[in-house]
Amino acid sequence: MDDGGERYEVTYVNEYMTLELGGRRLATFPDLICTFDGEGDPATSAAIEEGDRVFLTVTDKGLIPVGDGNRYPEVYEPIEEALGKSMVGHLSGFLRA
């Protein structure tokens, strides 16, 4: 996604997993990363096309109920492999040992 010359990278596997700007991680699932169209309606990754105007929001995982199953590092391994991006390394303090 481009915003006034800044390029954001958003990855997804059924839902948004990571958000980065210039290689710097801004959000990692289970942070809630959402996109909305110009009318304020939810815009799924499957519905967004190049050139669409969308709004991107992030809600920190600490502000929403997160299921206990999301607190185990091993659940992120297949996602990390599929995306080629670290997730566990960005979830320090959230995951159970």
- pLDDT tens-place string over residues 15-63: 999 999 999 999 999 999 999 999 999 999 889 998 899 999 999 999 9
Region 2-16: what's the mean pLDDT? 91
The answer to whether residue 3 scores a pLDDT higher than 90 is no
pLDDT at 43: 94
In terms of Cα–Cα distance, which of 38, 58, 61 is closest to 48?
A: 38
pLDDT at 30: 97
Ramachandran region of residue 46, left (φ > 0), alpha (ψ -120 to 50) or beta?
Answer: alpha
Q: Rounded to two decimals, what is the model's pTM?
A: 0.91
37 contacts 54 by C-beta, under 8 angstroms: yes
Distance CA 17, CA 84 (A): 12
pLDDT at 29: 98
